[in-house]
Amino acid sequence: LQMDVNKLNITLLRIFRQGVAAALGLLPQQVHINRLIEKKNCVELFVSPLNRKPGIAEALPSEEVLRSLNINILHQSLSQFGITEVSPEKNVLQGQHEADKIWSKEGFYAVVIFLSIFVILVTCLMVLYRLKEKIQLSLRQEKEKKQEIHLSPLPLQTSQSKTTNSMVQPEQAPKVVNVVVDPQGQCVPELKPPLCASPSPFRMKPVGLQERRGSNVSLTLDMSSLGSVEPFVAVPTPREKVAMEYLQSAGRILTRQQLRDAVACSHLLQTEFMEIPMNFVDPKEIDIPSHGTKNRYKTILPNPLSRVYLKPKNPSDSLSTYINANYIRGYGGKEKAFIATQGPMINTVNDFWQMVWQEDSPVIVMITKLKEKNEKCVLYWPEKRGIYGKVEVLVNSVQECENYTVRQLTIKQGSQSRSVKHYWYTSWPDHKTPDSAQPLLQLMLDVEEDRVESPGRGPVVVHC
């Protein structure tokens, strides 16, 4: 149009529709104005049949409409609008028609077929799932039948031997153990007490290994009680006497058959393990005021008979001699083959490196992460170079292995220097055991190789 479409009002649009209807030879009711297009300055129309049913708007094809259009009448009746072009456009109701076709007879059949296929697939999956459950149930029942083993009572006899400092083989009265495997596969030991043996002095609730170690107990310091402790006397305490008596009455050597039976029923081993007295040290047994400030856990203390003594910085300062560490015997009863200690704390890092230097340790083994839920160990080694008290630590190289990291260190004090290897086992899960023992065995082989290649040097330091 030459006329601006924005100036078209209702009256002009009615005149425009009547003029188009006259040019097409139709009634004005058959011509419909769809929209005004400002960008092209045009009017979009469509034509519907006269005999259309109510609710159905089937527009006539644009080619058919143009064939019946009389251009002369169009220009005469609508000369004021200045019509410049008449062109066919898409069917304005095409989208609606396509939507209506979806619910036609063909569309209905397509929906029915789709739903039928969906129901068939779901039914097949349910049948397969039920078959899988039945197969698993039958396999489980067969396995339970195979585990229904009835063992006759085994009299466990032990020989008498004298108690030594390194091994206890006490006198043991005959004990009868019945092992029964119930249908659920659980081993239930039935222990018959000996006729002439004193009952165990310990009856404790079964607890996990971590609770027995005490590593789930957070550090709580009572500084008032640490300042005044009783003098330590190197004599067996009543607790130690009771524990020794129990070990003397309960220890025994298993035959191969008894060992196989015990492995077949791990619950029996767990029950026996729970009866072993816990080796907790009374804080009063350590005659060092305020030693609790150097303990990560208040219930895990070093054994006074085998703990590591640091050379004092001041003869009157007994706390400077204390570190939570113990010597451990090695294979064949070798004394001081290892040192077991806690993960260094921020106030014990200098003590740790003083111990490594004092004991001339060739290897350090770290079996913990720095933080697992709570802090387990501080970062006590430097990235390149660090000084801890009187000990200087240099990191020469770092080797990343699959389950652990190896650092080659050089430690110096004064004019002397030594080489130390640091193994950090990073795959040990918190409060759990590793899924496979192979990485740990490889670590042990590497550590043992380094220890053998360092003759004349001190114990291997291990901490968690």
CATH of the domain at 339: 3.90.190.10
Nearest CA to 425 out of 370, 348, 357, 352 is that of 370
More confident: 6 or 349: 349
pTM higher than the cut 0.85: no
Highest mean predicted confidence (pLDDT) among 24-38, 128-142, 163-177, 424-438: 128-142
Distance between CA atoms of residues 87 and 451, nearest Å = 96
Last residue of a domain, one of 69, 102, 135: 102
Last residue of a domain, one of 73, 102, 131: 102
- Provide mean pLDDT across the span 300-309: 91
373: left (phi over 0), alpha (psi -120 to 50) or beta: left
- Which residues constitute the domain of residue 23? 5-102
The pLDDT of residue 16 is above 80? yes
> pLDDT-based confidence at 121, cuts 50/70/90?
very high
More confident: 421 or 2: 421
Please indicate, yes or no, if residue 410 is contained in any of the structural domains.
yes
Please indicate, yes or no, if residue 291 is contained in any of the structural domains.
no
Radius of gyration of the chain (CA): 46
The pLDDT of residue 200 is above 60? no
Structure tokens at 292: 């609790």
Please indicate, yes or no, if residue 404 is contained in any of the structural domains.
yes
Please indicate, yes or no, if residue 235 is contained in any of the structural domains.
no
> pLDDT-based confidence at 423, cuts 50/70/90?
very high
Last residue of a domain, one of 37, 71, 102: 102
Cβ distance 317 to 293 under 8 Å? no
Which residue bears the tokens 């143009």? 66
- pLDDT of the residue at 237: 64
- Percentage, residues of the chain above pLDDT 90: 31
Distance between CA atoms of residues 92 and 115, nearest Å = 33
Give, as one character, the DSSP assignment of residue 201.
S
Cβ distance 217 to 299 under 8 Å? yes
- pLDDT of the residue at 95: 45
Do β-strands 371-372 and 374-375 pair in parallel, antiparallel, or remain unpaired? antiparallel
Please indicate, yes or no, if residue 310 is contained in any of the structural domains.
yes
Active site (catalytic) residues: 464
Please indicate, yes or no, if residue 71 is contained in any of the structural domains.
yes
Distance between CA atoms of residues 99 and 78, nearest Å = 36
Highest mean predicted confidence (pLDDT) among 146-155, 164-173, 216-225, 266-275: 266-275
> pLDDT-based confidence at 346, cuts 50/70/90?
very high
- pLDDT of the residue at 146: 67
The pLDDT of residue 228 is above 70? no
Total structural domains within the chain: 2
- pLDDT of the residue at 337: 94
Average pLDDT, the chain: 77
Please indicate, yes or no, if residue 317 is contained in any of the structural domains.
yes
- pLDDT of the residue at 398: 97
Please indicate, yes or no, if residue 223 is contained in any of the structural domains.
no
